[in-house]
Amino acid sequence: MNKLTTIESHFLQQQKLYPEVNHEVTDLLHDVAFAAKLVRREVVRAGLADILGLAGTTNVQGEEVKKLDLFANEKIISAIGQHGRFALMGSEENDSVIVPPKNDTGNYVLLFDPLDGSSNIDVNVSVGTIFSIYRIKSDDPGKASLDDCLQKGAEQIAAGYVIYGSSVVMVYTTGHGVHGFTYDPTIGEFLLSHENIVTPERGKYYSANEGSWHEFNEGTKRFLDYLKEEDKATGRPYSTRYIGSFVADFHRNLLTGGVFIYPATKKHKNGKLRLMYEANPMAFICEQAGGRATDGERRILDIQPEELHQRTPLYIGSKHDVLIAEEFEQGKR
């Protein structure tokens, strides 16, 4: 039988191998994995909301039923915030930075999207939690400010996501490869299932919301047309796969190879996805797995953020495919 590796023992292995992955960092990751278990517990029961009480109403026990994304947000803030390891937190669900209790002891900042793709929950489609960790710039956690949150993605010390799908998988990186763990509900542990994920150099899938065709610019349209042309030498046509849940689309493309695009459109002039909560953590993971992530011109991880909820166009996935997307976006093809 294979030796089982829990996520906690994997964190400790990383701690032994890499000096910058110190016990503070592994404690933070441990907190995130724990919070993910709490969110999972509710997500897998989402279909029961109709029976136990619709969101916004009271359930049979007379308790108020919260919308799952708000529930996930509150759980993550309370489960992680209470340990005093983070000076500040930022969530896609909160307009401004969150100051956790005991914030004067934490040297780190946590940015997260508690339940990405939450509009898919009612139809039983996979959703996910995405997170990103930075070290504060000053030596005094009590003085941490918005500036400590607005760091370039290249400064992340760890990032990851949890996908609540047919199984629950947590994927993370500390800058030393990308590792995936599948949750075993019988023992309540995430177990190593995808060691050192390497994404294919070139994929066979593309993921884009082509319903927005008339809102795309000419470069995006030409790129999508190119992917659909037949050319055996370059493996075209590619197949379309679009779930509309970023974590799920990203996770599939990471494992099988492919390119996900959410470009600037007439409706979403700066793209739809958030730089700090979605693009940066996934770009860090993607690059660590050998892929590429840009806004069509710039490396995502090099963008200096100006505000917490900033949006960005996003081209992410297999290196070769993202490079071609950029050439179309830049009018070179």
Contact between 240 and ligand AHM per CB under 6 A? no
Contact between 244 and ligand AHM per CB under 6 A? yes
Contact between 113 and Mg ion per CB under 5 A? yes
Of the candidate residues 71, 112, 161, 246, the single one contacting ligand AHM (CB under 6 A): 246
Answer with the entry of ligand AHM, Mg ion, none that 13 interacts with (C-beta below 5 to 8 A by kind).
Answer: none
171: tokens are 């994927």
Task: Please give the DSSP secondary-structure letter assigned to residue 191.
Answer: E
Scanning 31-39, 110-118, 286-294, 322-330 for contacts with ligand AHM by CB under 6 A, the matching segment is: 110-118
Q: Which of 163, 164, 172, 100 is nearest to 136 (CA)?
A: 100
Interaction residues for ligand AHM, span 252-281 (CB under 6 A): 272
Taking the C-alpha atoms of residue 6 and residue 9, their distance in angstroms, rounded to an integer, is 5
Angle, CA of 38, 42 and 48, to the nearest 5°: 165
3-class secondary-structure state, position 332: coil
Look-up: residue for tokens 């400790």? 12
Rg of the chain over Cα atoms, rounded to whole angstroms, equals 20
Answer for the pair 245, 273: CB distance below 8 angstroms, yes or no. Answer: no
Answer with the entry of Mg ion, ligand AHM, none that 118 interacts with (C-beta below 5 to 8 A by kind).
Answer: ligand AHM
Whether the bond into 263 is cis, omega within 30 of 0: no
Taking the C-alpha atoms of residue 200 and residue 244, their distance in angstroms, rounded to an integer, is 22
Whether the bond into 200 is cis, omega within 30 of 0: no
69 known ligand binder:
no
115 known ligand binder:
yes
Taking the C-alpha atoms of residue 50 and residue 222, their distance in angstroms, rounded to an integer, is 44
Scanning 53-61, 114-122, 214-222, 305-313 for contacts with ligand AHM by CB under 6 A, the matching segment is: 114-122
Contact between 93 and ligand AHM per CB under 6 A? no
Q: Which of 119, 167 has the CB closer to ligand AHM?
A: 119
Q: Which of 133, 136 has the CB closer to Mg ion?
A: 133
Contact between 173 and ligand AHM per CB under 6 A? no
Residues facing residue 110 across a β-bridge: 89, 133
Look-up: residue for tokens 């759980």? 75
Contact between 249 and Mg ion per CB under 5 A? no
Binding mask of the shown chain, residues 193 to 212, with x at each position contacting ligand AHM by CB under 6 A: ----------------x---
3-class secondary-structure state, position 160: strand
Of the candidate residues 31, 69, 93, 116, the single one contacting Mg ion (CB under 5 A): 116
Of the candidate residues 31, 71, 81, 116, the single one contacting ligand AHM (CB under 6 A): 116
Which segments are annotated as binding site for substrate? 116-119, 209, 242, 272
Q: Which residues bind Mg ion (CB under 5 A)?
A: 113, 116
Which segments are annotated as binding site for Mg(2+)? 92, 113, 115-116, 278
Q: Which residues bind ligand AHM (CB under 6 A)?
A: 116-119, 209, 244-246, 272
